[in-house]
Every structure is written in C-alpha cells, then in structure tokens.
C-alpha cells in the first residue's frame, strides 16, 4: 500500500489508482506496481504477530472500555486467488494461469523460470521463491480437494472453526441461500483485504468488531463500518433477546458462523430451521451435508459444591 501512495475513496467507491494503473511504480520493468521483498523480509515472518496495538492510558486508573485501548487480532492470510491476479499480469512467461472451472490461480511449475516478477507484483506477498527449486510457488487452494467437492485443508483444520469455503455468484445476481453470497454480497459483513489493490481478492474477512474502525477501514475499506455495525447488532440482539426471538435474517448470520467447519464438504446452500434452531448445509445437488444446532446447550452448576464443600471457579 505504500507503493500505491495516497489515493482516494469517494464514499464507498474507490477512486484511486490500482496496482495495475500506477505509472510511477518502483520497477518500470514490471507492468504491475509492487514491492520486491528483500531476503531478510522472510527471516522472521511471525515477528510481532502476538503484539498488541494501541496505548494503555494508566494515569488516573484503568477502566475497561469498548473498544478496548489495547487490541490485536490474527489475520490468516493465504493466496486470495484474485479475480484479476497481479502475479498473472506480471509474469512475462505466462506461467501463471487462472483455471476456468474454479478460478484458482496456479503457477505452472514446469513453465516458471524464477524471474520473480510475480513476487514483486502480488500486493499480498503470497507468491514465494522456493530457494531449492528456484522457481515461484504459491497456495494452490488444494484444488484436488475442491475438484472433489471438499474444502481446502487449511479451512478444514482451522482450530477456530471460522472458515467457510465456497463459490461466489456475480455481484449483481447473488443467491441468498448460498453461504458465501449471503455473507459477502447480501449482508456484506465479509470484506476483501486491501480492496484498493484492484485485484479483487477472493478471500473475505468478517472484521473483528472490537478493533478501532479507522484501522479496519484501512484494511478492509469503507465497508468495514457497515460490517461491524451489522455483526455487532445481531450479536447484541441475540444476547439480549435470545436466539429464539431473532428474526430469520439475524439467525442466518449466527447460523452460518456456527456452520463453518462443521463439514469438510463445500456447502452450496443453507437453510435455517427456526423450530429447532438448526442450520442445514446442502451440496451442489441439493443433498444434505450437515445439520448443526445454532444454539449450544447451556448448563449452569451451583456456585457452591455441597459434596466437596468448595466454591467452583467456573459454573457454566
């Protein structure tokens, strides 16, 4: 983003230049404006990942507030398999291609000759130079799994169970029964990272709601305000009124969060069962894949254990 310099948003429309249009780019040999990383940039890839941002003002005592003065969040970043891949545009050998069937972007390992224009061009730095094979490599979105109707491995093994993989419709014709369409195109709580790059990345994030909005706008664009507002409102309603009193739309958002990672198959369609507060995922042929309770059973124990004559630390 430093390469792009100062650019403008007009309301929610990006009016600046993208990596494809910047004439004043660092490397004129490369048709795409980018940053060519130094070897040392890869030396400590996780340096600082657990550090917090913000300033804790302690003078006069500290009182917890929302948003919290200190905050951090993890941002899992894989290749975005962009609609307009900068890596593909930069490759003078046409060794990078986008598959027609699923739009996965791949580096042809037989054609690549290690020129590394793609590494410079990718705004997300998701193409890497393999020092052993001396050619560029990147995430393949586990395409053999996708071809078999399954989600990629990093989605399947996500310990937070917060990833959903699927296919997205064109922006002007969303299918509200498709999980991805619903989150990205209908209620717009899931946003692309650094949309101003112009590559139209295809990984979408639900922004963390307790992070300062200025920061989220920088990362996800002006849509962050609406995403946080929508998500927070639904969660607030659920907390105050209970799930059973939410309307169908609000239930869908909570249901989809619950549905994430509950199956290793790609969910093409979902449906809420209000009576039982469950969400059902279907495959591309309409076959049922998984049924998940939106509300987990809650058990509350007595604060004081009569038998052991001790107080419990955790009663739920």
Partner 1 sequence: MRMDKLVLVLATFALAAGLYVSNIQIGVTLGQELGLTAKYVDGQLPITSPDSTIWGEVEAKEVELGPQLTAAPWIHPKPSIRSLRVRVIHNGTWVSFLLEWNDATKDDKMLTDTFRDSAAVMLALQPGAGQCMGTPTAEVVIAHWKADWQRDVNEVFTDISELYPNFWSDWYPFAVGDPPYTLPNLMNLSTAKEYFAGWYVGNPLSTPLKLTPVETLVAHGWGTLTTYAFQSFIGRGIHDGAKWSVVISRPISPGQADPPWGDGGPVEVVSAV
Site for partner 1, rule CB under 8 A: 28-31, 36-39, 41-42, 92-94, 109-110, 112-117, 119, 128-135, 137
Nearest to 71 by CA among 220, 178, 207: 207
Question: Which helix (H) or strand (E) covers residue 292, if one does?
Answer: strand 288-293
- Between 29 and 102, name the residue whose CB sits nearer to partner 1: 29
Q: How far is the CB of 234 from partner 1 (least distance, A)?
A: 43
- Between 94 and 299, name the residue whose CB sits nearer to partner 1: 94
Contact 304, 311 (CB under 8 A): yes
- Between 114 and 171, name the residue whose CB sits nearer to partner 1: 114
Q: How far is the CB of 136 from partner 1 (least distance, A)?
A: 9
- Between 21 and 29, name the residue whose CB sits nearer to partner 1: 29
CA distance linking residue 157 with residue 155, whole number of Å: 6
- Written as six digits, the tokens of 36 are 């060519």
Q: Show contacts of 93-100: CB within 8 Å, 24+ apart.
A: 95/136, 99/143
Contact 269, 282 (CB under 8 A): yes
By three-state DSSP, how is residue 84 classified? coil
CA distances 83 to 9, 195, 250, Å, are: 21, 12, 30
Nearest to 126 by CA among 109, 143, 139, 110: 139
Peptide bond into 85 cis (omega under 30): no
How would you classify residue 56: left for phi > 0, otherwise alpha for psi between -120 and 50, otherwise beta? beta
- Between 36 and 311, name the residue whose CB sits nearer to partner 1: 36
Q: How far is the CB of 187 from partner 1 (least distance, A)?
A: 39
Cβ-Cβ contacts under 8 Å for 223 (sequence gap 6 or more): 12, 188, 191
- Between 115 and 231, name the residue whose CB sits nearer to partner 1: 115
- Between 133 and 245, name the residue whose CB sits nearer to partner 1: 133
Q: How far is the CB of 209 from partner 1 (least distance, A)?
A: 37
Q: How far is the CB of 84 from partner 1 (least distance, A)?
A: 18
Q: How far is the CB of 111 from partner 1 (least distance, A)?
A: 8
Q: How far is the CB of 156 from partner 1 (least distance, A)?
A: 18
Nearest to 179 by CA among 299, 281, 304: 281
């Amino acid at each position: 983003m430093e390469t792009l310099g100062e650019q403008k948003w007009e309301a929610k429309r990006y009016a600046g230049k993208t990596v494809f249009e910047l004439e004043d780019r660092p490397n004129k040999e490369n048709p795409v404006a980018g940053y060519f990383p130094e070897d040392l940039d890869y030396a400590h890839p996780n340096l600082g990942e657990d550090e917090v941002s913000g300033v804790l003002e302690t003078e006069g005592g500290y009182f917890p507030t929302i948003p919290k003065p200190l905050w951090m969040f993890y941002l899992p970043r894989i290749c975005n398999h962009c609609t307009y891949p900068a890596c593909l545009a930069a490759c003078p050998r046409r060794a990078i291609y986008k598959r027609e069937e699923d739009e996965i972007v791949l580096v042809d390992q037989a054609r690549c000759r290690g020129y590394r224009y793609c590494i410079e061009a990718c705004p997300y730095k998701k193409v890497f130079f393999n020092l052993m094979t001396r050619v560029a490599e990147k995430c393949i979105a586990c395409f053999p799994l996708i071809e078999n109707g399954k989600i990629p491995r990093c989605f399947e093994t996500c310990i937070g169970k917060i990833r959903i993989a699927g296919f997205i419709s064109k922006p002007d014709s969303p299918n509200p029964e498709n999980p991805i369409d619903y989150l990205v195109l209908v209620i717009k709580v899931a946003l692309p990272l650094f949309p101003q790059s112009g590559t139209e990345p295809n990984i979408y994030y639900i922004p963390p709601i307790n992070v300062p909005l200025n920061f989220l706008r920088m990362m996800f664009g002006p849509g962050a305000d609406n995403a946080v507002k929508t998500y927070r409102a639904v969660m607030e309603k659920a907390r105050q009124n209970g799930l059973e009193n939410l309307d169908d739309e609000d239930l869908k958002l909570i249901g989809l969060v619950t549905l994430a990672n509950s199956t290793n198959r790609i969910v093409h369609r979902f449906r809420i069962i209000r009576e039982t507060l469950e969400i059902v995922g279907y495959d591309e042929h309409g076959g049922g894949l998984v049924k998940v309770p939106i509300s987990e059973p809650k058990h509350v124990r007595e604060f004081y254990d009569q038998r052991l004559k001790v107080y419990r630390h955790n009663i739920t």
